[in-house]
Structure 1
Amino acid sequence: MKTLKVVKIGGNIIDDDTALAEFLQGFSKIEGPKILVHGGGKLATKMAKSMNIEVKMTDGRRITDADTLDIITMVYGGKINKNIVAQLQANACNSVGFTGADGNAIVSEKRPVKTIDYGFVGDIKTVNTEVLEVLLKHNVTPVFCAITHNEKGQLFNTNADTVASELAIAFANLYQVELNYCFEKDGVLLDVDDPNSVIEDINTANYATLKAEGVITDGMLPKLDNCFHAISHHVSKVCLGKPNMLFNQNTKHTTIQA
């Protein structure tokens, strides 16, 4: 069975032109089928503030009203996605930019209101692999932003870590899937002020402890929840850390285990 690498980038890599260019050069050289998923929350936040649109977050997730959805569509699906695709083409990596609406690739529904109304935020229901599989077989790399749709004309903001996790799960019966979350740190840190305090292995048991002790909070919570969701649905490997871990397995990083 072939290996498929699903790679999600975010954090300061997206905001740093040099870091992004270096990452994309390396990513382009990865052999075999691969899918790239990107965030862009910091740039979206910056644009929202410049337009005097209030940014609301809860538990690391963005509250998305109509104005915020417009900004996310422009930033994620436009500026960031097309810039990444253009740079991949410059590195001889043929690629196609996607939202969930393109090719009907990722279908979601509006998150139900319980204690919090997240607005135009979608929870993924199905991933349609057919179109993506055609591209992968022809050495074309899909590049996904964090936007999905409901097949009724409505776009939704969807957590990029979730998009990566659900794509990995959807292909787990066709490939040996490796899911990688790349960001500016070497992995999950025991002490956020100590970049060398990488927790190299996290399993279900110590994850519960780390949450209870407040070591893992905010945006890292949904990221790790998605990691464990993937591992429990037959994704063969899940890692978090700097992009170097993609090219050198001896690079310090965090590995998620069942």
Structure 2
Amino acid sequence: MTQTNQAPLVIKLGGAALSCTQTLSQLFGAIAAYQKSAQRQIAIVHGGGYLVDELMTKLQLETVKKNGLRVTPYEQIPVIAGALAGTANKLLQGQAIADGLNAVGLSLADGGLCHVEELDPELGAVGKASPGDSTLLQAVLNAGALPIISSIGLTEKGQMMNVNADQAAVAVAGALDAELVLLSDVSGVLDGKGHLIKTLSEQEADALIQGQVITDGMIVKVKAALEAANDLGRPIEVATWRYPEKLTQLFAGESIGTQFLPQ
């Protein structure tokens, strides 16, 4: 792929999109078309909570969340890492390859891309990621490939950690100095009446959290987007993958969801 002066684009992919082959195919089609027309480097960071939930149910293990984050007992991290860095990553890579993309599966640990440490002892093997060394990822991008990065990382001592995928995407975008789009099931942040909020500042978001308009996992997403906007010094978009025909415009910088503004 030809190098351009345009900043790379990190796309966080999560939610039910991962379980729908047709949706994924349309998404990868939009990415392929945009990559070709814009000659822009793109990396995907993904979650896969639904796969973990299914696996936990089959193994008769309880799923517990605290403040929107999955509690991950250390004895369960091999199972969760297998679902995210293994099954989810290869499902996405396989679909991307089927749709004609040169996809490479990676994790937060590869090439030291992100530094990961324990977030909170009460959460278990849940990591906090910060930007690391993007040299290996940049080499993959320079080769014209599409990196698909799971949110599993390693500490300095080699301990596997489960990182929230929104927070992982922020760290990857920081490592690459990239623009960031968080794609999810929802069209953005909705107000108390169910209407889309086009832009949000930190103060406005805090007020919506206090008023319990923004709740549960959306709090994590909103805080990750605000952190990214401030760290990267550029607006961050939270939008839905449900309208594939709008994704090319979104990737090109047109807002279709909620934009989080830097302070």
Contact 2:234/2:261, CA 8 A, preserved across alignment: no
Residue by residue over 1:4-30, the C-alpha shift from the partner in whole angstroms, topping out at 9 and shown as x without a partner, is 110011111112222222212222222
Contact 2:237/2:260, CA 8 A, preserved across alignment: yes
TM superposition shift of 1:229: 0.8
1:137 matched to 2:137: no
2:123 maps to which residue?
118
**1:24-63 pair list within 5 angstroms:** 24-31=28-35, 32-63=40-71
Of 219, 229, 237, the match for 2:235: 237
2:207 maps to which residue?
209
What TM-score comes out, normalization by structure 2 length? 0.88
Give the 3 Å change call, closer, same or farther, for CA 203–251 of structure 1 in structure 2: closer
Distance in 1, Cα, partners of 2:131 & 2:199 = 30
Distance in 1, Cα, partners of 2:45 & 2:135 = 18
Q: Which amino acid letter does the alignment assign opposite residue 222 of structure 2?
A: L
Q: Which amino acid letter does the alignment assign opposite residue 259 of structure 2?
A: T
Give the 3 Å change call, closer, same or farther, for CA 251–152 of structure 1 in structure 2: closer
Structure 2 residues not aligned, in runs of 5+: none
What TM-score comes out, normalization by structure 1 length? 0.89
Q: Which amino acid letter does the alignment assign opposite residue 108 of structure 1?
A: V
1:225 matched to 2:226: no
Of 59, 75, 79, the match for 1:71: 79
Task: Name the Cα RMSD after superposition.
Answer: 1.8
Structure 1 residues not aligned, in runs of 5+: none
**1:91-130 pair list within 5 angstroms:** 91-113=99-121, 117-130=122-135
Give the 3 Å change call, closer, same or farther, for CA 235–41 of structure 1 in structure 2: farther
Give the 3 Å change call, closer, same or farther, for CA 46–191 of structure 1 in structure 2: farther
Give the 3 Å change call, closer, same or farther, for CA 2–252 of structure 1 in structure 2: closer
Distance in 2, Cα, partners of 1:105 & 1:3 = 17
Distance in 2, Cα, partners of 1:125 & 1:11 = 23
Q: Which amino acid letter does the alignment assign opposite residue 190 of structure 1?
A: D
Identity of aligned residues (%): 25
Distance in 2, Cα, partners of 1:207 & 1:136 = 34
Q: How many positions carry a matched residue from both structures?
A: 248
Distance in 1, Cα, partners of 2:19 & 2:79 = 16
Residue by residue over 1:64-110, the C-alpha shift from the partner in whole angstroms, topping out at 9 and shown as x without a partner, is 01343122111111111011112212222212111122223222112
Distance in 2, Cα, partners of 1:228 & 1:126 = 16
Q: Which amino acid letter does the alignment assign opposite residue 133 of structure 1?
A: Q
Partner SS, residue 3 of structure 1: coil
Partner SS, residue 53 of structure 1: coil
TM superposition shift of 1:166: 0.9
Moved beyond 4 Å, runs of 4+: none
Partner SS, residue 231 of structure 2: coil
Q: Which amino acid letter does the alignment assign opposite residue 151 of structure 2?
A: A
Residue by residue over 1:117-175, the C-alpha shift from the partner in whole angstroms, topping out at 9 and shown as x without a partner, is 11111112442101111111121121111100013221100010011001111222xxx
Partner SS, residue 139 of structure 1: coil
1:81 matched to 2:89: yes
